């Protein structure tokens, strides 16, 4: 019998979430972001599931795009960080990729390259994230240089990235949006601005293209959920089983360091999942799990291959009971990856992308 840990991937939920992003912005096109192996869900399987819906995909780098092309994915793919050296432009052309342009050396490389067909390029503006992009005062001149080379560059857009679109306080988001919108108006430029939180909550940021990412996988990126984000469906369910049950006396410790001490005579379930599978070792006692669809709490530090859960109040729980680390249980109960992430003092992105290959993906609805 195989180890019971599985990452179930619901491709129908993925499509539901993409349609939500698309329907929230009916006058935009929506790039489906598949970077980091589709946030840990499997980029090839997710791309195939969305191929009849999404007009373009986005990844971080050439290697991620090459994997999709090798799997037969033919729709346009945007390199969100552009190329990392000029020599990559040959592969960009051969694979029909689109590129972000965020640095002067990338501009020079594009203008020195002689493609058979011009390359779609999106010019990145540093509107306040201060990570990648040209300062607003530089943008008009760079835009003019690229526009003056239509045999090399085509379909120019302005793009930027919001630092606080997820926050309840919108002041800095609006400052960033104003910067790019003023440039877009001056240059008569189409835009690609909205990430997941802006797609969900800020229609004024919707441009010619939007870039929904983590929302596609059912995670709510907003500090305060809204009506749209509440309809997101979880795509990954990380599930395992109880493989042993321990009966311990009040005061007895559980796990490394004895962090958890039983407050009463307790039943402890041992679950086949640990940080060697990608479950976060920083999870505190009480981090929620679903045992046979009922909530229970983590009891003790996460080990490499196992974790322990207090099942004292679940008398029917036993060896073989289903344990959902996040996602949807067999009885329909849902444990949000966002809630689990809060107990781990992190965000859902790190949990989803951190699920390791030892937890096999099993796809449904494809």
**Per-residue model confidence (pLDDT) at position 1:** 73
Catalytic positions, written as ranges: 35, 256
d(CA 75, CA 337): 30
Q: Provide CB contacts within 8 A for 360, sequence distance 6+.
A: 5, 6, 7
**Per-residue model confidence (pLDDT) at position 198:** 98
Closest by alpha carbon to 123, among 113, 66, 140?
140
**Per-residue model confidence (pLDDT) at position 366:** 73
Alpha carbon 68 to its chain centroid, in Å, reads 17
Q: Locate CATH 3.20.20.10 in the chain.
A: 11-220
Spans of the chain, pLDDT less than 50: none
- The tokens for 157 are 């857009």
d(CA 300, CA 292): 20
> Could you read off the pLDDT of 168-197 as tens digits, one per residue?
999 999 999 999 999 999 999 999 999 999
d(CA 245, CA 268): 6
Fold of 236-364: Lyase, Ornithine Decarboxylase; Chain A, domain 1 (2.40.37)
Q: Locate CATH 2.40.37.10 in the chain.
A: 236-364
**Per-residue model confidence (pLDDT) at position 215:** 98
d(CA 23, CA 157): 22
Contacts 24+ apart (CB under 8 A), 245-250: 245/269, 245/270, 245/311, 245/317, 245/318, 245/319, 246/270, 246/308
The CATH class of the 11-220 domain is: alpha beta
Contact 317, 311 (CB under 8 A): yes
**Per-residue model confidence (pLDDT) at position 309:** 98
């Amino acid at each position: 019998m195989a180890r019971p840990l599985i990452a179930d991937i619901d491709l129908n939920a993925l499509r539901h979430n993409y349609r939500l992003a698309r329907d929230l912005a009916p006058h935009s096109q929506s790039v489906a972001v598949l970077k980091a192996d589709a946030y840990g869900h499997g980029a090839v399987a997710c791309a195939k599931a969305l191929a009849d819906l999404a007009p373009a995909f986005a990844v971080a780098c050439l290697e991620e795009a090459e994997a999709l092309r090798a799997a037969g994915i033919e729709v346009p793919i945007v390199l969100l960080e552009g190329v990392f050296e000029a020599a990559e432009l040959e592969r960009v052309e051969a694979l029909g990729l689109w590129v972000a342009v965020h640095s002067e050396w990338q501009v020079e490389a594009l203008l020195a390259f002689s493609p058979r067909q011009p390359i779609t390029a999106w010019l990145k503006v540093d509107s306040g994230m201060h990570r990648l992009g040209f300062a607003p005062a530089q943008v008009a001149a760079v835009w003019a240089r690229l526009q003056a080379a239509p045999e090399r560059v085509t379909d120019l857009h302005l793009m930027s990235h919001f630092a606080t679109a997820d926050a309840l306080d919108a002041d800095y988001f609006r400052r960033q949006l104003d910067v790019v919108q003023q440039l877009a108006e001056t240059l008569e430029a189409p835009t690609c601005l909205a990430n997941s939180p802006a797609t969900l909550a800020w229609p004024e940021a919707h441009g010619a293209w939007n870039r929904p990412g983590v929302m596609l996988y059912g995670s709510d990126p907003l500090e305060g959920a809204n009506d749209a984000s509440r309809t997101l469906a979880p795509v990954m369910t990380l599930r395992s089983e109880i493989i042993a049950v321990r009966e311990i006396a009040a005061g007895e410790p559980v796990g490394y360091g004895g962090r958890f001490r039983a407050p009463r005579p307790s039943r402890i379930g041992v679950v086949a999942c640990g940080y060697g599978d990608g479950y976060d070792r920083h999870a505190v006692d009480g981090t929620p799990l679903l045992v046979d669809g009922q909530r229970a709490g983590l009891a003790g530090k996460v080990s490499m291959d196992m974790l322990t859960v207090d099942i004292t109040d679940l008398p029917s729980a036993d060896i073989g009971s289903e344990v959902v680390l996040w996602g949807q249980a067999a009885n329909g109960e849902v444990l949000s990856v966002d809630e689990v992430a809060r107990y781990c003092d992190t965000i859902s992105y790190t949990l989803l992308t951190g699920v390791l290959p030892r937890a096999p993906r099993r796809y449904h609805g494809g």
